[in-house]
Amino acid sequence: MSRKTFRALTCLTAILTAASSEARSFTGHGRHLMQMAAPPVTASAVRSTAAPYLIDPWTVGMTYPEVNITAGQSVDFKWPGRHGVYMLMDDTCPDHFDTNGPNILSPIKVNGDYTTPPLSKGTYTYACQVPGHCEDGQIVQVNVL
């Protein structure tokens, strides 16, 4: 490998490392858009061997208690009927859901399922984006400890 190629690879590695560190530094309700689209994953998170936390059925008319899981664990949503999974910025149902935004984790579909990637420490709130479903109880807060 030439010195020029080696320097280019070294520079690229440094840029990618810095970008990765910067993206992980955003937390809480002010999450960076990249993190809202897919919850952050860290090296410690991927080492977890815990089974996904199952929410079945993910459906309207339920009252979901707060869920506490460990870092590195994921959440598995399974549903009958027409539903989806949307990540909220806080724990309240919005007046309308952005149908083209990065917060749509699973689009509305019939008899579906969605599993989050392994989650890092923090609080995540998920809801169904079908009109009226969030207000009728299809919302859950997940605390990753």
The full DSSP string for 72-83 is T--EEEE-SSEE
| Tens place of pLDDT per residue across the chain (145 aa) | 444 443 444 443 444 444 433 333 333 333 333 334 444 444 443 456 789 999 999 999 999 999 999 999 999 999 999 999 999 999 999 999 998 889 999 999 999 999 999 999 999 999 999 999 999 999 999 999 9
Question: Where in the sequence is the domain holding 20, given as residue range(s)?
Answer: 3-144
Provide the CATH number for the domain around residue 78: 2.60.40.420
pTM of the model: 0.69
User: At 93, which amino acid appears?
Assistant: C
- For the chain, the domain total comes to 1
pLDDT of res. 100: 83
- What pLDDT, on a 0 to 100 scale, did the predictor assign at position 2? 46
Q: For residue 14, what are the CA distances in angstroms to 17, 24, 44?
A: 5, 16, 21
Predicted confidence at residue 35, as pLDDT, reads 35
Residue of 79, 67, 58, 77 whose CA lies nearest to 134: 58
Contact 127, 133 (CB under 8 A): yes
Task: State residue 49's pLDDT score.
Answer: 76
